[in-house]
A and B are shown apart, each in its own frame.
Chain A
Amino acid sequence: MSDKPITDNANYDPLDGRAPLIIGGHDFHSLTEATSKPLESKATTAWKIIFSISLCGLALYLGLIGWLVWKGTGVWGLNNPVAWGWAIINFVFWVGIGHAGTLISAVLYLFRQKWRTSINRSAEAMTVFAVVCALSFPGIHVGRLWNAYFLFPFPNQMDLWPNFRSPLLWDVFAVGIYGLTSLLFWYVGLIPDLATIRDRATTRGRQIAYGIFSLGWRGSFRHWWNYEKAYMCLAGLATPLVLSVHSIVSFDFAVSNLPGWHTTIFPPYFVAGAVFSGFAMVITLMVIVHKAFGMENIITMRHFENMSKIILLTGTIVGYAYGMEFFIAWYSGSEYEAFAFYNRASGPYAWGYWIMISCNVLSPQIFWFKKCRTNLVVLFIVSIFVNIGMWFERFVIVITSLHRDFLPSSWDYFSPTWVDIGMLIGSFGLFMTLFCLFCRYLPVVATSEVKAVLPQADPHYDEKGGH
Chain B
Amino acid sequence: MIEKNKMTEWRSLETRDPDAELSAELLNEFPEGAAEESLTTTSRREFMGVMGAGMAVGAGMMSGCVRKPVEHIYPYSNRPEHTIPGRPKYFATSIPVGGVVSGFLIESHDGRPTKLEGNPDHPTSLGAASAQAQASVLDLYDPERATTPSTSGVESTLADVDTLLAGIAAKAVGNKGEGLALLVESRPSPTYERLLGVVKSTYPMAAIYRDDATERVNARAGMALMGLTGLPFLHVDQATTILAIDSDFIGYEGEAVVNARHFADGRRVVKPGDSMNRLYVIEPTFSITGAMADHRQRCASSDVGGFVSSLVAALAKHGVTVDLDVAALATQKVRDFDEKWIADLAGDLAGATGQSLVVIGERHPAVLHAAVAVINDALGGTGKTVSYLAESGVTEAGTLSDLVSGMNASKVDTLVVLGGNPVYTATGDLDVKTAMAKVATTIVVSSYAKDETAAVATWHVAASHYLESWGDWTASDGTVSVQQPLIAPIFKTRSELEILSALLGKSATSHELVVETWEDRLSGKTWRKALHDGVAVAAKRAPAGTLASAGLNKALAGLKTPTAVSATNLEVNFVLDTKLVDGRNANNGWLQELPDSMTKLTWDNAALMNVKTAGRLGINKTPKRSGVKTYDMVEVSVAGRSVKLAAFISPGLADDTIFLNLGYGRTNGDIATGAGVAVNVLRTQAASAFAGGATVKTVSGRYPLASTQDHWFMGPDPDESPLFAELGERPLVREITQDDYEKHPDAIDHMGVHTPHQENLWPDVQDYSKGQQWGMTIDLNSCTGCNACAIACQSENNISIVRKERVLKGREMHWIRMDRYYRGEPDNPTAVFQPMACVHCENAPCEAVCPVGATAHSPDGMNDMVYNRCVGTRYCSNNCPYKVRRFNYFAYNRDETVTSVNPFLADDEKLSEIQKMQKNPDVTIRFRGVMEKCTYCVQRVNQAKIEAKVTGDGVVKDGDIVPACQQTCPAGAIVFGDQNDPTSRVSILKKQARDYEVLGELNNRARTTYLARLRNPNPAIEKRSPSSHGGDHGEAVAAAHVGDAGHGTHAVDQHTEEKHD
Contacts and interface: CB of A to CB of B under 8 A. Distances in A.
A110 B386 CA distance: 91
A304 B101 CA distance: 83
Given A84-B878, A347-B721, A408-B715, A169 B851 contact: yes
A78 to B, nearest CB: 7
A343 B881 contact: no
Contact of B709 (A163, A339, A342, A409): A409
A150 interface: yes
A80 B810 contact: yes
B651 interface: no
A395 B626 CA distance: 19
A83 B890 contact: no
A168 B873 contact: yes
A80 B887 contact: yes
A405 B883 contact: yes
Given A143-B871, A166-B850, A407 B806 contact: no
B434 to A, nearest CB: 46
Contacts of A81: 810, 883
Interface string A133-174: 000000001111111101100000000111101111100100
A343 B716 contact: yes
B870 interface: yes
B902 to A, nearest CB: 9
Interface string A319-346: 0000000000000111100110011011
A409 B821 contact: yes
Interface in B847-900: 848-853, 869-875, 877-879, 881-883, 886-891
B879 A257 contact: yes
Contacts of B721: 342-343, 346-347
Given A144-B870, A150-B852, A347-B720, A256 B879 contact: yes
A160 B817 contact: no
A163 B853 contact: yes
B727 A338 contact: yes
Contacts of A80: 810-812, 877, 883, 886-887
B887 A162 contact: no
Nearest to B887: A83
Interface of A: 69-74, 77-84, 141-148, 150-151, 160-163, 165-169, 172, 252, 255-258, 332-335, 338-339, 342-343, 345-348, 402, 405-413, 415, 417
Interface stretch (B201-209, B286-294, B942-950, B1042-1050): B1042-1050
Contacts of B887: 73, 78, 80, 83, 143
A73 B809 CA distance: 13
A80 B709 CA distance: 12
A179 to B, nearest CB: 18
Interface string B554-583: 000000000000000000000000000000
A150 B866 CA distance: 13
Given A258-B878, A408-B730, A143 B723 contact: no
B666 interface: no
Given A69-B903, A162-B853, A405-B881, A143 B872 contact: yes
B848 A346 contact: no
> What 8 A-B pairs are tightest by C-beta distance, nearest first?
A143-B872, A333-B1046, A143-B929, A74-B889, A79-B810, A410-B883, A83-B874, A409-B819
B845 interface: yes
A407 B836 contact: yes
Contacts of B849: 165-168, 255-256
Interface in B40-72: none
B810 A143 contact: no
A144 B929 contact: yes
Query: Chain B: interface secondary structure?
Result: loop
A360 to B, nearest CB: 21
B873 A141 contact: yes
Nearest to A138: B873
Contacts of B732: 407
Interface footprint category on B: 35 or more
B836 A409 contact: yes
Nearest to A408: B711
Contacts of A406: 730, 881-883, 999, 1002
B337 interface: no
B890 A71 contact: yes
Query: Chain A: interface secondary structure?
Result: loop
Contacts of B715: 335, 408
B848 A166 contact: yes
Contact of B730 (A84, A150, A151, A335): A335
A410 B713 CA distance: 12
Interface in B715-738: 715-716, 720-724, 727-728, 730, 732
Contacts of B869: 150, 160
Interface string B943-964: 0000000000000000000000
Nearest to A348: B625
A250 to B, nearest CB: 14
B319 interface: no
Given A146-B904, A411-B711, 9 more contacts: A71-B903, A73-B929, A74-B811, A78-B887, A84-B874, A142-B872, A144-B927, A161-B853, A163-B850
A150 B904 CA distance: 16
A333 B755 CA distance: 10
Interface in B615-639: 625, 627-629
Contacts of B881: 257-258, 405-407
Nearest to B6: A146
Interface string B1024-1061: 00000000000000000010011100000000000000
Contact of B878 (A71, A143, A256, A348): A256
Interface string B751-766: 0010100000110000
A148 B488 CA distance: 46
Contacts of A72: 888-891, 903, 928-929
B879 to A, nearest CB: 5
A160 B853 contact: yes
A90 to B, nearest CB: 16
22 contacts: A73-B887, A79-B811, A80-B810, A80-B877, A142-B871, A143-B874, A143-B931, A150-B869, A151-B871, A160-B852, A162-B852, A163-B848, A167-B849, A256-B849, A257-B879, A334-B1046, A342-B716, A345-B723, A346-B724, A408-B713, A412-B810, A413-B629
Nearest to A411: B711
B824 to A, nearest CB: 16
A127 B932 CA distance: 38
A81 B903 CA distance: 26
A77 B627 CA distance: 9
Most chain B Cβ neighbours within 10 Å, of A71, A163, A345 = A163
A319 B331 CA distance: 71
Contacts of B683: none
B714 interface: yes
B930 interface: yes
B820 interface: yes
A403 to B, nearest CB: 9
Contacts of B929: 72-73, 142-145
Contacts of B888: 72, 143
A339 B755 CA distance: 17
Nearest to B882: A407
B908 to A, nearest CB: 14
B912 to A, nearest CB: 20
Most chain B Cβ neighbours within 10 Å, of A258, A406, A407 = A407
A428 B854 CA distance: 33
A413 B711 CA distance: 11
Given A74-B811, A143-B929, A339 B724 contact: yes
Contacts of B850: 163, 166
A150 to B, nearest CB: 4
Contacts of B1002: 257, 406
A335 B728 contact: yes
Nearest to A332: B1046
A55 B858 CA distance: 51
B901 to A, nearest CB: 11
